[in-house]
Amino acid sequence: MSFEVVPDAGHWYRVESGSAASAVRRAAERLGGQLGLGENRVAELAIVAAELTSNLVKHAQEGVLLLRPARTGDAAGVELIAIDSGPGMADLTVSSRDGHSTTGTLGIGLGAIARQASWYDAWSRPGRGTVFAVQVWAKEVRATPGWAAGLTRPITGEQVSGDTHAMRTEQGRHQVLVCDGLGHGPLANVAAEAAASAFRTAPAGPPATVVQHLHRSMSHTRGAALAVAELDPAAGLLRYAGLGNIAGTVLAPDGTRRGLVSLPGIAGHQRPTVREYDYPFPAGATLVMQSDGVVERWRSEDYPGLTGRAPLVVAATLLRDAGIRRDDACVLVARTPS
């Protein structure tokens, strides 16, 4: 029997009814089977998917869920990110206790998710909705939140996104990429994926050197805007080189916000000028990078406690609130690697 393969970028599902919730659960079970989680673990994954989607149907407004593979080394698991603009919760700890309910049900959903998940994190505020990120791995895999995470979403009407992101650690250099292929659809996706592939295999070097390598590697594509950042914990610095309209922001621990400089240009075309800039990046700082499908008007003070959550939860929250439907959208969040 053949099954549809879920790409690493994942599939987005709009969850507004019981039938949509059932479709997500079945897709999660198929993905878990494809990744070799084993029968018992797939059954536990099904519980997680059922509870997440049940919460979206019962409580959410504009509830969506992203289902995608999660990978670390030779191991693979399943990642589910549930996002809504519903009433939100004042205290997720209380809401996760068995028996707590706001709809007259048994109230065991969030507690069941916590018990079955290998790792999970969430952010919620009254009136601002909820974001829940869950990973389910084989029992022997130790799951920890990554130092960087990103999400992409295609423009309405397209199946693939022209935006992408990637991260790597090469010879001690912790680097991330955000790329926006020109236009939309399959050809933009080809350009973005070419950049991501070249980034993952590029020789170790500072961001400006990596950007030059990506530019040379993308000459067969329609080109892209892109930026590469490097987090250097020992020096307390962030090194950054960008071409085109990728926005970068450093959120300092004291709440101050600093924008990062990208130069005009198109990677893969023309002869762009590439310059690298250094910025202070103390312990506790957060890097946010976004394509132009995400507006820059979000304010960190509107999200109390969010920067203390996992990078994946931060990225999902900003994509929900600042992403626009008339363009591909990508958000990447990174912190100093431990």
So what's the pLDDT on residue 104?
A: 40
Q: What is d(CA 277, CA 208) in angstroms, rounded to the nearest whole number?
A: 9
So what's the pLDDT on residue 127?
A: 83
Rg (CA), the chain: 20
Element (H, E) at 148: strand 148-153
CB 64 within 8 A of CB 83: yes
From the first residue on, what is the mean pLDDT of each consecutive set of 10 residues in the chain (338 residues)? 53 92 95 94 96 88 91 88 85 52 49 90 90 92 85 92 94 95 96 96 96 96 97 96 96 92 93 94 95 90 91 96 91 90
Q: What is d(CA 16, CA 62) in angstroms, rounded to the nearest whole number?
A: 7
pTM of structure: 0.91
Domains parsed from the chain with CATH numbers: 11-136 (3.30.565.10), 148-335 (3.60.40.10)
So what's the pLDDT on residue 272?
A: 86
So what's the pLDDT on residue 74?
A: 81
Structure tokens at 59: 């409580």
So what's the pLDDT on residue 15?
A: 93
Query: What strand order describes the sheet that includes 148-153?
Result: 148-153, 329-335, 286-290, 247-251, 257-259
Which sign, positive or negative, has the C-alpha torsion 203, 162, 121, 118? negative
So what's the pLDDT on residue 102?
A: 47
So what's the pLDDT on residue 146?
A: 84
The neighbouring-strand residues paired with 237 are 232, 280
So what's the pLDDT on residue 92?
A: 64
So what's the pLDDT on residue 140?
A: 85
